Amino acid sequence: MEHVKFSNLKEGDAEDFRFLIEHDKSYAGEVGDRLVASLASLDDSFSSLKVSRLEHSLQTATRAWRDGADTDWVVSSLLHDIGDLHAPYNHDEYAAVILRPFVREQCAWTVQVHGIFQAYYFAGKIGGDQNARDVHRDNPYFDDCADFCERWDQASFDPDYESLPLEFFKPMVDEVFAREAHAASVVRPGVRVPLVDTDLAEQRKAH
């Protein structure tokens, strides 16, 4: 069987849908490859800044990795701005939708709201509300998102920083997107893993 037999869903039988589900699984299994390819395409943007969106993403992920952060944090850092491609006005939510089935709730939430937290660094300078992020003050991950922005995201516009290449992060992306989607052991609601692991950071210093 190469294709389903139906032209509209109403006509499909069990054989069709079993075939379809298997095929969709293998297509979903390649999502890591497609995301890395999309990320690579961000290399020609951010012309008004000193670095491209790709470089900003690599720098954010490299800072996370050098801080000893775990794979969920590193991959979330790498992909946190991937929404810029197709959703410039809600890029954070877009990236979170992609990540949510495959990373800890803590990291998905951080990515989802990082835009309003980043505003802390510029909104006050152009007449906006620097503290707009305070609408999330009661969220248990508030400090994690504030730290994500302070340590990694807002700091990663530096053309002189030596980032690790995209190929370095590819195995981590593959690992994350090979996980069982929405599994409780992946999402781990309420679990807060620190952004920084000083022992691991020391070991990774050579990179």
Smallest gap from Cβ 111 to Fe ion, in A, equals 9
Instruction: Give CA–CA dist 8/14, Å, rounded.
Output: 14
Smallest gap from Cβ 9 to Fe ion, in A, equals 37
Per the CB < 8 A criterion, the answer to whether 118 and 153 are in contact is yes
Q: Using CB under 5 A, which of 55, 67, 70, 81 touches Fe ion? A: 81
Token code pair at residue 187 = 């999402």
Smallest gap from Cβ 12 to Fe ion, in A, equals 41
Residue 94 makes CB contacts below 8 A (sequence gap 6+) with 82, 83, 86, 87
Residue closer to Fe ion, measured from CB, 89 or 199 = 89
Per the CB < 8 A criterion, the answer to whether 99 and 183 are in contact is no
Q: Does 105 bind Fe ion (CB under 5 A)?
A: no
DSSP, res 135: G
Smallest gap from Cβ 52 to Fe ion, in A, equals 12
Considering CB under 5 A, how many residues would be counted as binding Fe ion?
Answer: 2
Kindly tell me the sign of the dihedral angle through the C-alpha atoms of 198, 202, 205, 207: negative
Residues 144-173 contacting Fe ion, CB under 5 A? 153
Burial class (CB within 10 angstroms; exposed 0-12, middle 13-18, buried 19+) of 186: middle
Residue closer to Fe ion, measured from CB, 154 or 186 = 154
Identify the CA nearest to 61 among candidates 160, 165, 147, 159. Answer: 165
Smallest gap from Cβ 161 to Fe ion, in A, equals 14
Residues that bind Fe ion (CB under 5 A): 81, 153
